[in-house]
Homo-oligomer: A and B are copies of this chain.
Amino acid sequence: MKYCFGVDIGGTTVKMGLFEKTGEILDKWEIVTRREDEGKAVLPDVAASVAEKIQEHHLKEADIIGIGVGVPAPVTEDGVVKASANIGWGYKEVKKELEELTGFSVEVGNDANVAALGEMWKGGGEGNSNIVMVTLGTGVGGGVIVGGKVIIGTQGAGGEIGHMCVNYEEVEVCGCGNRGCLEQYASATGIVRLARRKLAQDKRETVLKAENVTAKDVFDAVKAGDCVAQEIAEEFGKYLGYCLANIAAITDPAVIVIGGGVSKAGEVLLPYIQTPFLERALFTNKGVEFRLAKLGNDAGICGAAKLILDEYSS
């Protein structure tokens, strides 16, 4: 049997998994992300943890295919990161450094792209090689997969779905510096923004309160039949569904997978996205399936494992 490691480096913890080549997870664990000193300990910590687990599981080094890694930053095809604020890194040759530290083959990708690969492999997109994955969290991330391969792009910045402009009239500024980005409406914070705007002008009765309203509150209220909440969900879904219709015109996916914290609202979410999608999708794309992500926090380590397995088999 051959094995590989999937590593998902985040700003607080590094999630790690030991996989069989077939995809079965044998072990998973976390280590702390030591961001101090420009995060210089992060890769050595990963290398040490890999070495430990090899011992613990009595594996032979010759049976290790390699290590796949997801990083919260654009990553070029040769595994270089220009900067990652979340980890404290400046320019870093992640692939090269980790290969030197471990002696194993390493493949590196952007974390959202890698999570999409995980969902394609073992999650909501299973069985399809053309998927769009949207991660609705604090921000909106994404991964677009075409013919089984993530769109990486010239600088590793492919799949930046959250920064497609969906409203040219927006006056508030997005974190990226532009105005009207999808992230301003479809992230957890975006939904709160929509809710606050709505609650400030809508005088109907609602269980929602403008102070401290969360995306979860909105979808809980939706489920309880609250009309005001349903209209907030409709607005959210319109921005997201229209944007996905435009993405579908370019990549003609079989499945669109909705993940991230917001997707914990469950199946109730999907019609709010699919209805406006169908309103705007090109006729060839009307059959696209909408599914919820399945892997939760494991999407990153699974996709990272898939990244190195694909490299090995190619």
Contacts and interface: CB of A to CB of B under 8 A. Distances in A.
Interface of A: 74, 77, 128, 130, 144, 146-147, 149, 151-161, 163-165, 168, 176-178, 242, 245-247, 249-254, 280, 282-285
Given A146-B158, A282-B176, A253 B153 contact: yes
A155 to B, nearest CB: 6
Given A144-B251, A160-B284, 10 more contacts: A144-B250, A146-B146, A146-B149, A147-B149, A153-B252, A154-B254, A160-B250, A160-B282, A177-B283, A247-B250
Contact of A157 (B77, B155, B285): B285
Name the residue among A77, A149, A165 with the largest chain B CB count within 10 angstroms.
A165
A249 B147 contact: no
Given A149-B147, A168-B242, A178-B282, A252 B158 contact: yes
Give the 5 A-B residue pairs with the shortest CB-CB distance, closest first.
Answer: A153-B252, A157-B284, A157-B252, A154-B254, A160-B249
A153 B146 contact: yes
Contact of A246 (B144, B146, B157, B246): B246
Contacts of A149: 146-147
12 contacts: A77-B147, A152-B252, A153-B252, A157-B284, A160-B249, A160-B252, A160-B282, A161-B249, A164-B246, A168-B242, A176-B283, A247-B250
A284 B177 CA distance: 12
Contacts of A285: 157
Contact of A158 (B154, B158, B242, B251): B251
A283 B82 CA distance: 14
B252 A250 contact: no
Nearest to A129: B154
Given A168-B242, A246-B165, A154 B253 contact: yes
Given A74-B284, A246-B246, A250-B160, A154 B176 contact: no
Contacts of A156: 252
A282 B181 CA distance: 10
Contacts of A155: 252, 284
Given A242-B168, A246-B165, A154 B252 contact: yes
Contacts of A163: 249, 282
Name the residue among A147, A156, A253 with the largest chain B CB count within 10 angstroms.
A147
A251 B151 contact: yes
A297 to B, nearest CB: 25
A130 B153 contact: yes
A281 to B, nearest CB: 8
A280 B181 CA distance: 10
A250 B249 contact: no
A194 B157 CA distance: 34
A130 B128 CA distance: 23
Contacts of A74: 284
B151 A146 contact: yes
Contacts of A177: 283
